[in-house]
Amino acid sequence: MSDLDSPERLFSSVALERRIAELTVLYEVSRALQETVDEEKALYTILVGVTSGRGLGFNRAFILLIDSDTQYLKGRLAIGPSSAEEASRIWQELRDEHWTLAELLSSLDRSGIKKDLRVNEIVDRFHIPLAEENNSLVRIMRSREACRANNGVFYPHGLPVEERLTELLGIDSFAVAPLYLADRELGVLIADNAITRASIDVTNLRLLQIYAQVASSAIQNTRLYRELMERIVVGEQVNLTLRESQHHLLQAERLSTIGKMAALLAHEIRTPLVSIGGFARRMLRSAPPEDPRREEMEIIVSEVHRLEKLVDEVLGYSRISKPEYKSTDINGLIRSVMITMQEELQKGSIRPELDLDSRLPRAEADEALLRPALMNLVSNAIEAMPTGGTLTLTSSFDEKYFEIGVTDTGVGINREHWDKLFTPFFTTKTTGTGLGLAIVSQVIENHKGSLRFESIPMKGTSFHIRLALHPERTISPDALPNGDSVSREVRP
Write out pLDDT tens, residues 78-112.
888 876 676 566 555 555 554 555 555 555 554 44
| Averaged pLDDT for residues 274-291 | 84
pLDDT of residue 489: 42
Sequence ranges of the domains in the chain: 3-229, 320-491
Higher model confidence: residue 369 or residue 360?
A: 360
pLDDT of 452 higher than 50? yes
Is residue 85 classed exposed, middle or buried when 0-12, 13-18 and 19+ CB atoms within 10 A define those classes? exposed
| Averaged pLDDT for residues 173-189 | 92
Instruction: Say which residues have a Cβ less than 8 Å from residue 402's Cβ, sequence separation at least 6.
Output: 330, 360, 363, 395, 396, 466, 467, 469
Find out whether 396 and 356 touch, Cβ atoms under 8 Å: no
Find out whether 217 and 93 touch, Cβ atoms under 8 Å: no
| Averaged pLDDT for residues 296-308 | 83
User: pLDDT > 70: what percent of the chain?
Assistant: 74
pLDDT of residue 477: 42
pLDDT digits (tens, 9 = 90+) for 326-351: 999 999 999 999 998 898 899 999 99
Which residues pair with residue 26 across a beta bridge? none
Q: Return the closest-CA partner of residue 391 out of 321, 334, 313.
A: 334
Instruction: Say which residues have a Cβ less than 8 Å from residue 106's Cβ, sequence separation at least 6.
Output: 32
pLDDT of 148 higher than 60? yes
| Averaged pLDDT for residues 260-276 | 74
Q: In degrees rounded to 5, what are phi and psi of residue 73? A: -95, 110
pLDDT digits (tens, 9 = 90+) for 48-89: 878 876 667 888 999 999 998 899 999 999 888 876 676 566
| Averaged pLDDT for residues 256-285 | 76
- What is the CATH code for 320-491? 3.30.565.10
Instruction: Say which residues have a Cβ less than 8 Å from residue 232's Cβ, sequence separation at least 6.
Output: none
pLDDT digits (tens, 9 = 90+) for 369-427: 898 889 889 988 999 999 999 999 999 999 899 999 999 999 888 887 777 776 665 56
Helices 202-286, 39-51: inter-axial angle, 10-degree rounding? 160
pLDDT of residue 141: 94
Alpha helices (H) along 350-470: 367-383, 436-446
Long-range contacts of 480-484 (CB under 8 A, 24+ apart): 480/448, 480/449, 480/450, 481/401, 481/450, 482/450, 482/452, 484/450
pLDDT digits (tens, 9 = 90+) for 316-326: 655 556 788 99
Element (H, E) at 451: strand 450-456
Higher model confidence: residue 476 or residue 206?
A: 206
Higher model confidence: residue 198 or residue 11?
A: 198
| Averaged pLDDT for residues 176-204 | 90
- CA–CA dist 285, 281 (Å, integer): 6
pLDDT of 481 higher than 50? no
Work out the pLDDT band at 479, boundaries 50, 70, 90. very low
CATH topology for the 3-229 domain: Beta-Lactamase (3.30.450)
Task: Print burial letters for 437-465: b (CB count within 10 Å at least 16), e (below 16).
Answer: bbbbbbbbbbbbbbbbbbbeeeebbbbbb
What predicted TM-score, i.e. pTM, was given to this entire model? 0.50
The alpha carbon of 158 is separated from its chain's Cα centroid by a whole number of angstroms, namely 51
pLDDT of residue 8: 53
Higher model confidence: residue 460 or residue 301?
A: 460
Chain mean pLDDT for the chain: 80
Higher model confidence: residue 9 or residue 446?
A: 446
Q: Which residue spans within 151-257 are E strands per DSSP?
A: 153-155, 159-160, 174-181, 184-192
The alpha carbon of 361 is separated from its chain's Cα centroid by a whole number of angstroms, namely 37
- Please tell me the least confidently modeled range out of 220-234, 235-249, 315-329: 315-329
pLDDT of residue 186: 94
- Residues 88, 189, 213, 110: is their CA dihedral positive or negative? positive
Work out the pLDDT band at 482, boundaries 50, 70, 90. very low
Helices 39-51, 101-111: inter-axial angle, 10-degree rounding? 140
Find out whether 154 and 176 touch, Cβ atoms under 8 Å: yes
Residue 266 one-letter amino acid: A
Q: Which of 22-31, 92-101, 459-468 has the highest mean pLDDT?
A: 459-468
